Amino acid sequence: MQIKKLNSITTILAISLLLGSCGEKFTSVEKDGFVQVSNTDGSTLGYHPESGVKILTVDRYAFKDLNQNGTLDAYEDWRLPVNERAQDLAKQMSLEDIAGLMLYSSHQSIPSGSRGYGSSMYNGKPFEESGAAASDLSDGQKKFLTDDHLRHVLITSVKDPATAAQWNNNAQSLAEGMYLGIPINNSSDPRHGSDSYAEFNAGAGGDISMWPGTLGIAATFDPTLMKQFGEIASKEYRALGISTALSPQIDLATEPRWSRFDGTMGEDPDLAADLAKAYVDGFQSTDGGDWGMESVNAMVKHWPGGGPEEGGRDGHFGYGAYAVYPGKNIKDHMKPFVEGAFKLDGPTKMASAVMPYYTISSGEGEKVANGYNKYLITEVLRGNYGYEGVLCTDWGITRDMSAVHKFEGKPFGVEHLSEAARHYKAIEAGMDQFGGNNDMGPVLEAYKLGVAERGEEAMRARFEESAVRLLTNIFRVGLFENPYLDVAETKAIVGNSEFMKAGFDAQLRSVVLLKNHGNILPLKAKQKVYVPQRYIAPSTNWWGMTSEEKMEYPFNMEVVAKYFDIVDTPEEADFALVGVQSPDGGVGYDVSDLEKGGNGYMPISLQYDTYTADTAREVSLAGGSDLEDFTNRTYKGKTVNTNNTTDMKLVNDTKAKMGDKPVIISIKVGKPMIFSEIEKSASAIVVHMGVQDQALMEIITGATEPSALLPFQMPADMLTVEAQFEDVPRDMKPYTDADGNVYDFAFGLNWKGKIEDERVKNYK
């Protein structure tokens, strides 16, 4: 009886094991708006129940039948290498599919505005009148996803994280239901800036964690902090449905007048290379490892370095079309790319995408913008440095322009070509994708031009080559498996208290103490402070939006009141706290000068007071446009007024009113500035690149000791600015203050005095 009983048990166990071994190796669960399928020791899938996509069971695992043909294609098999999947899908794609894949949308806000740049309708009506939900797709978005087969979308402002997540799910379900089921790769420009007026609470969250800009993180001289930012930011991006970062901006900031200086990692090639490597590693790795569901593709910009703009004029406009190399130093500008972003410590190996800048790199190949320059793209980037990732143009380089000062297209050097011919020239140069283009028409026309010149077979192969690169970036972040978001999880991840604290700690570490006469700082809390209001001049931004003049406090006074007793007059105060910004000395061009018979070109000033460029070049190093009848863009002898000269007056007038009592100055700097006009009026100077006011108060009161260093030089005067070479780092005479401190690269103070630590030794 014992033996019979044992045999029965054995038989039952054997049958159970047999049945179990034949069962499915996946489970399904319905989420809010999609179905999640979890494979045992395999990929987690997500699909919309109404998209038409079904689950295939092969070898007991689940796979998405994205092209709805009832069989498992190689591109649908998550067990296969990414490159094999991308090649299989590229071969199946129609010409229209590939043309759409080569588009990158114009800027999209969620919900879309009803007027101005990037506006759209909802069922033919403005959003406010349509009855649509904020997470619904606009008419324009539906069109470019369906009619133009576009799959790369640039997201700007969003109502809130939950809305962004739901919009993503709506867009992905639409794309999933179309032939081949190619998911959408959403992207974003940097979105982790600080709201100076917001308060930080260790237990509170926000719409997204707040950090100093990359220039502020650069001031910490700490690549590990930059990597931590990338790791946190990538988690938040993916929770918002963003899988590509149009960053980092790793242009070497060797031209101090450039308006995009504040988006860089400073002017030193070694520091910038280390920080670029850390940023990309942090974004692209999942849990410090290889590609995964928390990975974000990094599109580094702007090859071969957008920093050396002649005279500091920016390439968003025709007047800033030229980068120049008077020091023959383009290699330093490539260093953050080739020794940073292309040589990662992590297993993702190199940044997955590169964006060339708008500019014509003077003397480097053909006299055309970098996105059309075959020498810089194919010979140098792909050939010399072996770069294998996606190359995407900057936004709008194929569109027309009518004047060098208008915010329009940027077809520099190819103004004479048709829009289709510009697309073809960029493709021939080696580009894969067109930023800011929602219309596949010109890409299809470019294909026809290529067929006429090279033949159908060669042109199809060239398009598939780009398609494989583009698909690779979508495959390896897991979008083909599951592009959907759990809205509740999004709410829990984005801006959570842990991430907010990390960002605030980084802000504290980014503030540079430049002057501390007589060790006036730190101040004791609850002293009486006088805070003068700051004048804001009327202004017009790049997009034509205007703002009125106003007077306002430069700080959140509720925050200031938690640290000090605010008084109304200098006579009552123990000290004054003055908040200003670095000089805004113009953009380097003025239409009124052109109308008066000049060439329109003006100096860009880094000082508050009126500046006349008596020592500028007689003849510009570069120039020429189809829209101008001259090539010399000199501004020698011309005079420019700074838009915020009142900041200088505010500092000096406050000092006069305070007499011998201390004046503490906080300066938000976007680029180098001339300190001689205000430094002597200050007892202490702190500079920052975008932090919450609370962080400044923590530094001033000594709750945190300053530790940051200048990631760039502060010039002694405009003479040294005019004499420096646009392409050479650290070639200016730095300013020396009344205490004998030299405001050079890697200078900063703590409570003991000048900082001389390993960071200074390593980089200076």
Q: Is the pLDDT of residue 21 over 70?
A: no
Residue 113 · residue 127 · CB < 8 Å: yes
Q: Is the pLDDT of residue 12 over 80?
A: no
Lowest average pLDDT, out of 119-123, 300-304, 362-366, goes to 119-123
pLDDT per position as a tens digit, 565-587: 999 999 999 999 999 999 999 99
pLDDT per position as a tens digit, 147-157: 999 999 999 99
Q: Is the pLDDT of residue 22 over 70?
A: no
Beta strand segments in 182-291, E:
185-188, 242-245
Q: How far is CA 31 from CA 172, 485, 668, in A?
A: 15, 9, 46
Residue 649: per-residue pLDDT: 98
pLDDT per position as a tens digit, 725-760: 999 999 999 999 999 999 999 999 999 999 999 999
Residue 152: per-residue pLDDT: 98
The encoded tokens of residue 244 equal 């590509």
Query: CA-CA distance, 76 to 659, in Å (whole number)?
Result: 75
**If pLDDT is split at 50, 70 and 90, which confidence band does 41 have?**
very high
Residue 357: per-residue pLDDT: 98
Q: Are strands 103-104 and 434-435 parallel, antiparallel or unpaired?
A: parallel
Q: How far is CA 113 from CA 120, 128, 136, 158, in A?
A: 6, 9, 13, 11
pLDDT per position as a tens digit, 684-694: 999 999 999 99
Express as a percent the part of the chain with pLDDT over 90: 92
Q: Is the pLDDT of residue 14 over 70?
A: no
pLDDT per position as a tens digit, 227-268: 999 999 999 999 999 999 999 999 999 999 999 999 999 999
DSSP state of 343: S
Residue with tokens 């008077």: 326
Average pLDDT score over residue span 552-556: 96
The encoded tokens of residue 724 equal 């420096």
Average pLDDT score over residue span 46-68: 97
**If pLDDT is split at 50, 70 and 90, which confidence band does 543 have?**
low
Q: Is the pLDDT of residue 718 over 50?
A: yes
Q: Is the pLDDT of residue 15 over 60?
A: no
For residue 522, how many other CB atoms are within 10 A of its CB?
18
Residue 671 · residue 257 · CB < 8 Å: yes
Query: CA-CA distance, 628 to 303, in Å (whole number)?
Result: 27
Q: Is the pLDDT of residue 3 over 60?
A: no
pLDDT per position as a tens digit, 166-224: 999 999 999 999 999 999 999 999 999 988 888 887 777 889 999 999 999 999 999 99
Half-sphere exposure (Cβ direction) of 54: Cα atoms closer than 13 Å: 8
Residues 111, 406, 254, 614: is their CA dihedral positive or negative? negative
Q: How far is CA 529 from CA 57, 468, 570, 616, 762, in A?
A: 71, 62, 8, 43, 40
Average pLDDT score over residue span 311-335: 98
Residue 566 · residue 557 · CB < 8 Å: yes
Half-sphere exposure (Cβ direction) of 233: Cα atoms closer than 13 Å: 34
Q: In sequence order, what DSSP letters do the residues of 344-379 get, joined into one string?
A: -SSTT-S-SEEEE-SSEETTSSSSSBGGG-HIIIII
Residue 2: per-residue pLDDT: 44
Q: Is the peptide bond before 336 cis (omega within 30 degrees of 0)?
A: no
Dihedral, CA of residue 372, residue 376, residue 377 and residue 380, to nearest 10: 170
Residue 11: per-residue pLDDT: 43
The domains found in the chain, sorted by start residue, are: 502-582+643-763 (3.40.50.1700)
> Ramachandran region of residue 477, left (φ > 0), alpha (ψ -120 to 50) or beta?
alpha
Query: CA-CA distance, 374 to 376, in Å (whole number)?
Result: 6
Mean pLDDT of the chain: 95
Q: Is the pLDDT of residue 10 over 80?
A: no
